Structure formats: C-alpha cells, structure tokens
Structure 1
C-alpha cells in the first residue's frame, strides 16, 4: 500500500474537509475532533460527488417518541438524494450492505497522507 500526500494538516479545517485527486480517484479528507479520515467522493447510489454533501449528525437510538441527536460532524449526506454515510467508516446509515470506500490516513510532519492500494 502506498501513501500519497493529500493536504497539509492546516488545510483541512476542524469539522470540515478538502477534496483531492490521488491516483485518479476523487477523495474527501475530513478532520473530526483532530483526527483525519478519508472516503471516496462517490455515492454508490447514482454516482454523485458525495463529499460535497452536508456534514451533520444523526438521531441515536432512543425511546418511542423521543429523538436524541448525536454524532455531530460525523455524517455526510449525499447532495443528490440524501443518502447518509459515516465519514469514519464509509458505511451507510441505512444498510449494512451499502458503503463508500474509506481509506487509511496517516499524518507525518504536518502533512496528511492517504493510503491507496492493496494491504
């Protein structure tokens, strides 16, 4: 697996993202609570640029007629049809079978690197 320079740490705002192209792949690099995550900028539903979607939280398990909101800044919503994905894992919120690719991230010397290739 090769590491590719994606961005300087300072270029990825806390709670935000940058979208980069590495090895012909569009990838969103996110910063959540000081940690970095990377997912494929492609919604598996219809191919929208997923990482251009709104970053937000979601409702958590709760009692009937109660709504508990949480995971703020950890969910991205596809800008076309609203499909939601966990930024940390790439998993969809609605099905265990649907996901977008997630990439390992390393920070070295103030730069954020994304690992691409076989493990």
Structure 2
C-alpha cells in the first residue's frame, strides 16, 4: 500500500519520503522499482547506530506511540534478519551524528542531487 501511494505522488508534482525498515534486499529493490516506474530520482538512506551499547539503550527505553503496540525487545532487534546494503546509499550513523547534523547531511545530499 505504501509503495502504491508513493508511486502516485510524483505525477502530482510531489516529492516522496518513505520512512521504512527495509532490512533485506528484496524490500529495498521494491522501492527502487517504484522510483524507476515513476521516472524519479531515488536517494536511499540507511540509518544505523554503530555503538551497540547506545543502540541497546535506545531500543530498551523506547515507548510505543501507538497504544497497545508491542515494540521488539533487544533480542528481537539483534536477532532480526539483515542483509547488508550493496548499492550506493547514504549512511547516517546516529551514534556519531546528532539529529540536527544528520538532517543537515541529508539535506546537503539532496541539494547536490538537485543541482
């Protein structure tokens, strides 16, 4: 559903930001196909936390924004299936970048692509 909605927006002159967990290549490939089909540029961004202790602290202290939603525990986070990215993409490491710095880096990359 999200990909269908994303595919419809470029024809309306809108940019699309899809915030999704895509831990396996098949999910990332599907988003690339949506962009190619719509004839628009795509910037893939992988957000990581390279500090395992900080990553665990964040995972264990999260609060669900949706009542009744069960968030994954640390075992589920580290046990999930993950396939490394193989194609070009922007990596934002939240262990090294404050949110404002990560946003600035993203905006700079988008500006370079629009130039």
Greater helix proportion: 2
Who wins on radius of gyration, i.e. which is larger? 2
Answer yes or no: same fold by TM over 0.5. no
* TM-score normalised to structure 1 length: 0.26
Greater strand proportion: 1
* TM-score normalised to structure 2 length: 0.27
